[in-house]
Structure 1
Amino acid sequence: MEHIRTRLVRFAEPNGQVHIGLHEGEVIRRLPGEWRIADLLGVPLDTMRDMVARASTEIPAESVRLLAPVDGLMEVWAAGVTYERSRDARVEETSEPTVYDRIYQAERPELFFKAPAWRVVTDGEPISVRDDSTINVPEPELGLVVNAHGEIAGYVVVNDVSSRSIEGDNPLYLPQAKIYAGSCSISAGIVPAWLTGIDDLAISMWVHRAGTVAFEGHTSTASFHRPAAGLVPYLTSHLRFPDGAVLSTGTGIVPGLDFDLKPGDTVEIRIANVGSLTNTVLRTREWLDSVEA
């Protein structure tokens, strides 16, 4: 069950002005000035806590539109093959099964770029599936919000939408399977790291189709193959993220090869203590025409 109600959010007021604040139930307490999420992630975690504590002006949550909690030069990266189920699914789908079995056992994780901040969508906005892919899946994942100093500052829900058929045809097609319009969705709020642990969080996903549940899956971060925090140094030791980053930690829920995410579906993801994320599905061309018009 989800109990934590305080989340750091980015939101647009009716006049179009964008601010950040703490979402607590029916109100948002706005942070002062023109601070961005990136500004909070540019300072050490203790300083961020002091800055967040300055939230004051109360705004009715229903009066604003929540935005994806990423801005500035923030990037989204992701890890792969971090659960046994993910390893098994990749071996099942690919023409090169030993690649995934080896990475599952290796000390160095698989990390890949997913999206810049401006390409990320959030709760209630559409995601998409590629027109040139025959097997598409949503991937529910815990996201680590990492600051410029390599500290974990918070947590989000991530949907790492992917093409199984493209990656399965050749692992070198991974960027095309992972990076395209509408392929990255993040929950609208960041749960500050000091409010929850992540050792055993229930993760659930449902795909709703034409009034029925086309797929349902459940797992827990307790099934993670390696400590989630151990992924961070592999990302930050040889790169700098002056505005912070989100590192999605991989999925333990993968449908069988007989499942294909389709336009018109709705994907619902819940992670205990972190939040929820719901998105309808479009085809990529439809997404581009409707979202970027």
Structure 2
Amino acid sequence: MNIIRYKNELNESVLAVLTVENKIYVLPQSDFLSLVREAENKGKTPLLLIEEVIENSLPMKLTLNDLDLLIPVDAPEVWAAGVTYENSKLARNYEASQGYEEKEETFYDKVYNAARPEIFFKSTSARTVAPRGEVYLRSDSNWQIPEPELGLVINKVGKIIGYTIGNDMSCRDIEGENPLYLPQAKVWKNSCSIGPSIRLAETVEDPYNFDITCRIFRKEEKVFEGSANTEQLKRSYTELVSYLLKDNEIFDGTVLLTGTCIVPPNEFTLDHNDRIEIEIEGIGILENTVKKQISQTLPTL
């Protein structure tokens, strides 16, 4: 069962469920967290609550493509883990070397093997882009890529209540120049997208067996495709969540992106009007169009 949100003809947000048969049923709750809380209050699981709705209602005549999709959960914060796959470590090392001879051991090697994972702040609800929305290129970077990632939807005590897809847009040149520039390499306007749905955690038999595929199209010609599986993840979800919670207050609906294993070739960079598709089996396809921002002139003091 996948939870979606869309905007109806009255510009209202509607919560719905997408079944494995691709049937869509409108849910009475206002949002995903309301569904989870109502299930808890009634001593039921979200799945059981949804099954009761399906049993007593008819599916919509519209398909997923007909809907104006919204972000499936208003995540108050989006966090991300880095260097959790070997491919990510190799890519970060290349960025840091900037084409020169690499050191014997870099800080990326160290964090990959360390007990403490890399976790950084990525986005807020207001900054996160909906499915089919526009992600922006950073104006002071010349080497940018999407990072396709499985996202954990968690509550304030760290329980995983669902899985989603995240696009962690990244500037390889900025991070490669200096690791202290990581926030600027990761956070700017429209640099994060989430969706198109939330897969209920209770319906996932093996969360370490998600197939992930990323495709990039330029003028509708596919210029990149890569695939991976979450079984390649170096760290467990429990481990990543536990470090996010250490001496930190998080909120219901927080999303933690778990890192990427798919990195385009080193000579590749995104361009204006590119289209990104990130597909995770059982969750759907997160699609975004790439747009170039208009450079902002700093005010004269």
Instruction: Determine which of 254, 262, 274 is the counterpart of 1:265.
Output: 274
With 16-25 and 142-151 compared, the bigger mean Cα shift is at 16-25
With 266-275 and 89-98 compared, the bigger mean Cα shift is at 89-98
Contact 1:41 1:147 in 2 (8 A): no
Which secondary structure does the structure 1 equivalent of 2:17 belong to? Answer: strand
Distance 1:107 1:52, change over 3 A: farther
Partner of 1:291: none
Structure 2 letter corresponding to 1:78: A
Which secondary structure does the structure 2 equivalent of 1:121 belong to? Answer: coil
Distance 1:27 1:201 in 2: 22
Instruction: Determine which of 66, 71, 75 is the counterpart of 2:69.
Output: 66
Question: With structure 2 as the length reference, what TM-score do the two structures score?
Answer: 0.85
Which secondary structure does the structure 1 equivalent of 2:198 belong to? Answer: strand
Distance 1:16 1:205, change over 3 A: same
* Cα shift readout 1:179-200 (whole Å, capped 9, x = no counterpart): 1112111122100011112212
Distance 1:217 1:94 in 2: 23
Partner of 2:26: 30
Aligned-residue offset at 1:201: 1.9
Structure 1: gaps spanning 5 or more residues: 1-5, 289-293
Partner of 2:100: none
Instruction: Determine which of 195, 198, 201 is the counterpart of 2:203.
Output: 195
Alignment of 1:114-263 (within 5 A): 114-196=122-204, 197-263=206-272
> Does residue 106 in structure 1 map to residue 102 in structure 2?
no
> Does residue 20 in structure 1 map to residue 15 in structure 2?
yes
Aligned-residue offset at 1:119: 1.6
* Cα shift readout 1:165-221 (whole Å, capped 9, x = no counterpart): 111111111111111112111122100011112212221111111242222211111
**Large movers: runs of 4+ above 6 Å:** 43-46
Aligned-residue offset at 1:40: 4.0
Distance 2:119 2:50 in 1: 30
Q: Identity percentage over the alignment?
A: 39
Instruction: Determine which of 67, 85, 88 is the counterpart of 2:87.
Output: 85
Instruction: Determine which of 39, 51, 70 is the counterpart of 2:34.
Output: 39
User: Which of structures 1 and 2 has the bigger CA Rg?
Assistant: 2
Distance 1:191 1:70, change over 3 A: same
Which secondary structure does the structure 2 equivalent of 1:208 belong to? Answer: strand
Distance 1:38 1:195 in 2: 17
Distance 2:129 2:61 in 1: 23
Aligned-residue offset at 1:160: 0.4
Contact 2:73 2:253 in 1 (8 A): no
Contact 1:138 1:162 in 2 (8 A): yes
Contact 2:39 2:49 in 1 (8 A): no
Distance 2:39 2:85 in 1: 30
* Cα shift readout 1:232-262 (whole Å, capped 9, x = no counterpart): 1111242233332111000001123211111
Distance 1:282 1:11, change over 3 A: same
Structure 1 letter corresponding to 2:2: R
Taking only aligned residues, the RMSD between alpha carbons, in angstroms, comes to 2.4
Aligned-residue offset at 1:90: 0.5
Structure 1 letter corresponding to 2:9: P
Distance 1:11 1:54, change over 3 A: farther
With 54-63 and 99-108 compared, the bigger mean Cα shift is at 54-63
Distance 1:241 1:19, change over 3 A: farther
* Cα shift readout 1:96-132 (whole Å, capped 9, x = no counterpart): 8722111100111111111111221132111111111
